Chains A and B, each alone.
Chain A
């Protein structure tokens, strides 16, 4: 029983990491129709910057949090302005190729600016172990689950009740018509990139604290992308749950069946679910009048 609970709790924690990054994919897709394949790499760069801030400031968690969120926003806006904005209106495939190119550049940048070795991200508060009736969990693992639910609640409120959130949904539904209402699609795109960088950056930093920081951190993006598909590419909140499902499933398969199957467990689930619900678990069905 303890074994199951251990698998579940660490599965939820890694699932929350996937979930946050999956939400980042979904928010950019939803508001601009673009898949940002450099999401995992952006998350990795933000984690490295957080590590530099933490080693430079004796690991004060508040300075690290504020510093890395600030960096995430500036970084995302810079990427959007320099690489993505000029591609607006170009074929979507070319835009996706740009993000793939960015991902290669970011991976190289990490080894260039820092190094290729794994590091422990020492952040006293985050590394501490908490005992939950015999199950040991790191604070960072709890934090990432909490952050996921904060992000879910925040996004839900934002899309449902704020005017700007509504405008983002309108752009997602029909950007040409949204422009006719006076919506500036460029601003929507900037907001989507900033929000996605903050969410995926949080995931990257907390993952680095709970496990380790290394140049293979970008692989989180590859795991999170299927979670987005599972939850529904255009469903920001569905993607969060997609991440949790994949994280838990991976851990259960790895723990009970075989650790070599762990990596593919998530993908098998996705194929099965997409056969039944092609638009994902929570994706919006296109309304078509005949």
Chain B
């Protein structure tokens, strides 16, 4: 994947967001003029801190913006030829765009197996059996715990159920919203290994939204960085990894080298200025 220079060089992008502006309650602008694209077979990461507008963008992509009085005022969002701004969530899921929501959002009172069944809600009974087998092969641990109540699993296991549940819908584009949120470092490593595995084994296209920049950047082919509702920087992952600004502000290395540097040491105005240039 290292030969990529920009996303747009590739064949028609799978997911394409053009100049999106999203406004809540007709008053609060959460996303301004954002354009990004995800090509088939790639892993694209969208990084940014709290309140950067990442989750809002994902709500627009999954057709759930209206639930919170949000509106795509300008621009367009297309997935595999479908206009997502005018689509219902079930049609979007049927097309193969599936989200693993932030904070996992399992059905806490249902068993692991019932959670997985829900993931395949739009599939027939025979497809359900086949998909369940595939997911159990990928995550043998879920098979062990199939009849346990999902709400009582550990955080890492819950994340595994959440990813498994999304796979049950046979995604063509898997969208992960902060998969590492609230998990211990070792478990985060395991989650990222799983994503890498799915990409290798199932040749899956992944759109990853994260605050945890290091892991996401190691996995991704292309990286977008969002701040205050805008894309402030984007480029192929290996270029971004060596970009001094990114190293300093997202990966925590000082420009000198290996020495760790706290985020707090960097003056706010300086960050803003650098991004704008």
Contact = CB atoms under 8 A, between A and B. Distances in A.
Interface in A77-91: 89
A163 B67 contact: no
B90 A182 contact: yes
B93 interface: yes
A31 to B, nearest CB: 13
Interface string B125-166: 100000000000000000000000101100100000000010
A281 to B, nearest CB: 17
B221 to A, nearest CB: 26
Given A163-B121, A287-B151, A287-B152, A181 B67 contact: no
B101 interface: yes
B107 A169 contact: yes
Nearest to A286: B108
A93 interface: no
Find the residue from A178, A181, A183 having the highest chain B CB count within 10 A.
A181
A220 interface: no
Interface string B88-124: 0110011000110100010111100010011101100
A182 B119 CA distance: 8
A254 B101 CA distance: 54
A33 to B, nearest CB: 14
Given A163-B121, A167-B121, A173-B110, A180 B99 contact: yes
Contacts of B105: 174, 176-177, 180
B37 interface: no
A89 B65 CA distance: 13
A178 B118 CA distance: 8
Given A182-B90, A182-B93, A287-B152, 15 more contacts: A89-B67, A163-B117, A166-B117, A167-B118, A167-B121, A169-B114, A173-B107, A174-B105, A174-B107, A177-B105, A178-B118, A179-B64, A182-B121, A183-B118, A286-B108
A118 B117 CA distance: 51
Nearest to B149: A287
B46 interface: no
7 contacts: A89-B67, A170-B110, A176-B67, A177-B105, A182-B93, A284-B109, A286-B108
Contacts of B89: 179-180, 182
B62 interface: yes
A75 to B, nearest CB: 28
B101 A180 contact: yes
Contacts of A178: 107, 118
Nearest to B63: A179
Nearest to B94: A182
A166 B108 contact: no
A173 B165 CA distance: 16
Contacts of B165: 181
A287 B108 contact: yes
A180 B62 contact: yes
B169 interface: yes
Interface string B69-95: 000000000000000000001100110
A179 B151 CA distance: 19
B110 A169 contact: yes
Interface in A266-290: 284, 286-287, 289
A84 to B, nearest CB: 18
B109 A180 contact: no
Contacts of A173: 107-110
Contact of B169 (A163, A182, A286): A182
Interface in A181-234: 181-184
A181 B93 CA distance: 7
Contacts of A163: 117, 121, 125
B118 A181 contact: yes
A163 B124 CA distance: 10
The 10 closest A-B pairs by CB, nearest first: A287-B151, A182-B93, A182-B90, A287-B108, A182-B122, A177-B105, A173-B107, A181-B121, A170-B118, A179-B89
Nearest to B152: A287
A140 B67 CA distance: 46
Contacts of A89: 67
A289 B165 CA distance: 20
B135 to A, nearest CB: 14
Nearest to A178: B118
A287 B109 contact: yes
A176 B64 contact: yes
Contacts of A182: 89-90, 93-94, 121-122, 169
Contacts of B107: 169-170, 173-174, 177-178
A180 B89 CA distance: 6
Find the residue from B67, B121, B125 having the highest chain A CB count within 10 A.
B121
Contacts of B117: 163, 166
Contact of B93 (A169, A170, A176, A180): A180
A103 B105 CA distance: 36
A228 B165 CA distance: 33
B43 to A, nearest CB: 21
B46 to A, nearest CB: 18
A127 B88 CA distance: 52
Contacts of A183: 90, 118, 121
Contacts of A166: 110, 114, 117-118
